[in-house]
A and B are shown apart, each in its own frame.
Chain A
Amino acid sequence: MLGCIRALMASVVLCLWCGAALAVDVRAAVLRVDYPSLLPVSRFDLRPDDLGFAGAALADADNGTTGRFLGHSYETVTRAVPPDEADAALEDLLAGGIRLIVVQAEAEDLLRFSDRAAEEGALVLNAATPDTALRDADCRANLLHVAPSNQMMADAVAQFAVWKQWRDWMLVEGSNPADQALGAAYRRAAEKFGARIVEARIFEDTGGSRRTDSGHVLVQRQLPTFMQGAADHDLVIAADATDYFANYLPFHLWTPRPVMGSGGLRPVTMHGAHEAWGATQFQTRFEELAGRYVRPEDYNVWLALRAVGEAVTRTETAAPDVLRDYALSDEFELAAFKGQPVTFRGWNGQMRQPILLFDGRITVSASPQEGFLHQRSPLDTMGLDQPESQCTAFN
């Protein structure tokens, strides 16, 4: 109530300057859990300390510039914590009155955070976890997904492969649970779009010699023999969510074929070379602020907070339930440098967005591909569709 009165008083003052705008202070947080991890296969993929947070800083700047004309201010705090300190960090944020929380964490932690946040009426935005289950039976009413699901990513690749008429796939999966989950998404994608998995193999994670001086020498001998003797295929699909073999695949096959998925042509939400649809100015703004190229993680956090900002701009409130309802409504749309507005699926809280197909240098293509149609939006050809989803929390 006190906050309410203060807001009203502020708005009276503001009205002298800017007409009918109501003052709104938007306080949000980004909570990033840093799990123990091995070095990436490529040095280009080393994790910067401000991964995701740089996107938050840009979103605050963007939202704040807009907010200045409306009497809305934005402040986002960032927390990077090891797994065993994550719950305490969440408690701390909630105790500080923050009710809009962007999370970069694995599925199990994300769900626990969401349930705890729900008790305080807070809205959680998933900027990292691709687990399809969270958009399915494990969905939560106060959890919106800005990060695409494994299924959206796999469908994006599958559409392009089918558009190319490369329908016979060899699927190479990693042996870790995350790799297997991604592999399952590619199997469903193949079925959905009429491709065939003519051969499937699992490349065991034996804790191998990644990034050693002679790593490539062994890889050059071992990987081709692993790929030997497969049924005729047009394409190799790699499902390596844990980054231990897929980046080696393109030039170490037995039969020369294009590689897509976790290596070769990869589905991403954004990359530092993307220029179409006005993205150049997003890139220059980001680079000026962060001093490096944008990563998908940064873009996901930026997009989550921009979605919050857009909802605040249109509803003139920071109340989580109002923002959530607006984001899920037909009125919500947001420009995201992807050539068409991004929106949320009202039945499971997943953001609809085009997926870029990136070869490490340029945007090779963007899905959905031409000719894949849907009664609601071509974007709904990617990921779980309403009839397939077991999610009931949004009913």
Chain B
Amino acid sequence: MKTLLLSTALVALGLSPALAGKAFISNERGNTITVVDTDTWEVLTEFAGGNRPRGITVSPDGKKLYVCASDDNLVRVFDTETYEELPSLPSGPDPELFILEDSGKRLYIANEDDNLVTVTDTETREILAEVPVGVEPEGMGISPDNKFVVNTSETTNMAHFISTEDYEIKYNVLVDQRPRFAQYTADGTRLYVSAEIGGTVTVMDIAEDGEPTVVGKITFEVPNVRPEWLQPVGVRVTEDGSRVFVALGPANRVAVVDGESLEVLDYILTGQRVWQLAFTPDEKYLISTNGNSNDITVIDVEAEEAMRSIQVGQAPWGVATIE
């Protein structure tokens, strides 16, 4: 609210609202990035994002935007203020999704076509390591202590726990069909892995040394929606771990799950084929990308209600936000 007031004041004074929060949406088929003001929820601009942009994230200081340009076989980098393109990062072939460590130095990239996770140094722009994983690596999660990166492989149906110290896989956990996303809780004691075709989210407890133990599975059920349409993809957990939001693909809904009981509390209607999710940095809003209706849906996190949908580019895939 404070940010909103401030930016309104700046607009009133005729200054550019430089402090406005922004959401960046990668449009897989449009080959563009749409920029949305997260105070006014207006589209600010749309710029070329490389070929088949999918995974998208920002540097810890919010100044650089990283985009997996899958068909260019590299990570494109943009200035989040000017949208100018900066020198690209090598990614290995067909980068789909990635995760940046807290320092912003190492970027862990899933190479979907090559069964690899590539580790790239964002400063020297060099590849530090290539870790062989299962078939069609996609989901990338990082433990809050940054000691483990978890990769999910869609055809192998595993979560691979890669040590960030020696880049060796320490644990492999079989999950249900087509795992798409891995998300730790902020305290690092739990990991959620979604399985798109299995229709489940596997819940693991994480020991102090990083060892995972499967403790449960979240399943979904919506009246009048065919069970095979309930396809969990993107997962986000609130800072306190109390709520887990799960995007359900062609079911066009985001599930709200109790982080304690693992019960589904509600299903929030979104646009069509909802895949990825991102909170605004203040965690007030959750943004979903809806690939088939070419829009994003803004969800009020506290009210657990959809606020509005905003038209973006063609086939929106991923979303990242800055303050």
Interface, chain A (partner B; CB < 8 A)? 18-19, 61-62, 65-66, 68-70, 278, 281, 284-285, 288, 310, 313-314, 333-335, 339-341, 378
CB-defined contacts of B158 to chain A, threshold 8 Å: 66, 69
Asked whether B156 lies within 8 Å of A69 as measured between CB atoms, the reply is yes
CB distance from B117 to the nearest CB of A (A): 13
Chain A binder among B142-150, B169-177, B277-285: B169-177
Q: Which chain B residues (196-231) contact chain A, with CB distance < 8 Å?
A: 196-198, 226, 228, 231
User: Could you pull out 28 A-B pairs where Cβ atoms are within 8 angstroms?
Assistant: A61-B135, A62-B156, A65-B132, A65-B153, A65-B156, A66-B135, A66-B155, A66-B157, A66-B158, A69-B134, A69-B158, A69-B169, A70-B172, A278-B154, A278-B178, A281-B94, A285-B113, A313-B157, A313-B174, A334-B177, A335-B154, A335-B155, A339-B197, A339-B250, A340-B197, A341-B197, A341-B198, A378-B228
CB-defined contacts of B176 to chain A, threshold 8 Å: 333
Q: How far is the CA of A340 from the CA of B249 in the complex (A)?
A: 12
CB-defined contacts of B156 to chain A, threshold 8 Å: 62, 65-66, 69
Given contacts A66-B156, A333-B197, 8 further A-B contacts (CB under 8 A): A62-B156, A66-B157, A278-B178, A281-B94, A335-B154, A340-B228, A341-B198, A341-B228
Q: Which of B112, B155, B169, B231 contacts A62 (CB 8 A)?
A: B155
Q: Which chain B residues (213-260) contact chain A, with CB distance < 8 Å?
A: 226, 228, 231, 250
| Minimal Cβ-Cβ distance residue in A for B197 | A335
CB-defined contacts of B250 to chain A, threshold 8 Å: 339
CB-defined contacts of B177 to chain A, threshold 8 Å: 333-335, 341
Q: How far is the CA of A288 from the CA of B176 in the complex (A)?
A: 27
Q: Which of A65, A314, A340, A341 contacts B134 (CB 8 A)?
A: A65
CB distance from A335 to the nearest CB of B (A): 4
Q: How far is the CA of A188 from the CA of B197 in the complex (A)?
A: 32
Interface, chain B (partner A; CB < 8 A)? 94, 112-113, 115, 132, 134-136, 153-158, 160, 169, 171-172, 174, 176-178, 196-198, 226, 228, 231, 250
Asked whether B226 lies within 8 Å of A378 as measured between CB atoms, the reply is yes
CB-defined contacts of A19 to chain B, threshold 8 Å: 171
Q: Which of the listed residues B113, B171, B177, B198 has the most CB atoms from chain A within 10 Å of its own CB?
A: B177
CB-defined contacts of A68 to chain B, threshold 8 Å: 132
Q: How far is the CA of A373 from the CA of B97 in the complex (A)?
A: 36
CB distance from B145 to the nearest CB of A (A): 22
CB-defined contacts of A339 to chain B, threshold 8 Å: 197, 228, 231, 250
CB-defined contacts of B174 to chain A, threshold 8 Å: 313-314
CB distance from A281 to the nearest CB of B (A): 5
| Minimal Cβ-Cβ distance residue in A for B196 | A335
Asked whether B172 lies within 8 Å of A69 as measured between CB atoms, the reply is yes
CB distance from B76 to the nearest CB of A (A): 20
Asked whether A62 lies within 8 Å of B135 as measured between CB atoms, the reply is yes
Q: Which of the listed residues A288, A333, A340 has the most CB atoms from chain B within 10 Å of its own CB?
A: A340
CB distance from A341 to the nearest CB of B (A): 5
CB distance from A188 to the nearest CB of B (A): 25
Q: Which of B94, B154, B157 contacts A284 (CB 8 A)?
A: B94
CB-defined contacts of A340 to chain B, threshold 8 Å: 197, 228
CB-defined contacts of A333 to chain B, threshold 8 Å: 176-177, 197-198
Q: Which of the listed residues A19, A62, A288, A378 has the most CB atoms from chain B within 10 Å of its own CB?
A: A62
Given A66-B155, A335-B155, A284:B198 Cβ within 8 A: no
The 4 closest A-B pairs by CB, nearest first: A340-B228, A66-B156, A335-B197, A335-B177
Q: How far is the CA of A182 from the CA of B224 in the complex (A)?
A: 35
CB distance from A96 to the nearest CB of B (A): 28
Q: How far is the CA of A68 from the CA of B133 in the complex (A)?
A: 9
Q: Which of A18, A281, A288 contacts B172 (CB 8 A)?
A: A18
Q: How far is the CA of A313 from the CA of B177 in the complex (A)?
A: 12
| Minimal Cβ-Cβ distance residue in A for B177 | A335
| Minimal Cβ-Cβ distance residue in A for B231 | A339
Q: How far is the CA of A251 from the CA of B83 in the complex (A)?
A: 51
Asked whether B228 lies within 8 Å of A281 as measured between CB atoms, the reply is no
Q: How far is the CA of A333 from the CA of B228 in the complex (A)?
A: 12
Q: Which of A18, A66, A284 contacts B113 (CB 8 A)?
A: A284
| Minimal Cβ-Cβ distance residue in A for B160 | A69
Given A66-B134, A69-B172, A340-B228, A335:B113 Cβ within 8 A: no
Asked whether B115 lies within 8 Å of A65 as measured between CB atoms, the reply is yes
| Minimal Cβ-Cβ distance residue in B for A285 | B113
Q: Which of the listed residues A18, A65, A310 has the most CB atoms from chain B within 10 Å of its own CB?
A: A65
CB-defined contacts of A341 to chain B, threshold 8 Å: 177, 197-198, 228
Q: How far is the CA of A313 from the CA of B176 in the complex (A)?
A: 12
Q: How far is the CA of A339 from the CA of B136 in the complex (A)?
A: 16
CB-defined contacts of A314 to chain B, threshold 8 Å: 174
Q: How far is the CA of A61 from the CA of B228 in the complex (A)?
A: 28
Q: How far is the CA of A313 from the CA of B13 in the complex (A)?
A: 64
Q: Which of A65, A284, A288 contacts B135 (CB 8 A)?
A: A65
CB-defined contacts of B132 to chain A, threshold 8 Å: 65, 68
Q: How far is the CA of A217 from the CA of B26 in the complex (A)?
A: 52
Q: How far is the CA of A313 from the CA of B112 in the complex (A)?
A: 21
Q: How far is the CA of A65 from the CA of B178 in the complex (A)?
A: 15
CB-defined contacts of B226 to chain A, threshold 8 Å: 378
| Minimal Cβ-Cβ distance residue in B for A336 | B197
Given A335-B155, A341-B228, A281:B198 Cβ within 8 A: no
| Minimal Cβ-Cβ distance residue in A for B171 | A19
Asked whether B136 lies within 8 Å of A281 as measured between CB atoms, the reply is yes
CB distance from A276 to the nearest CB of B (A): 10
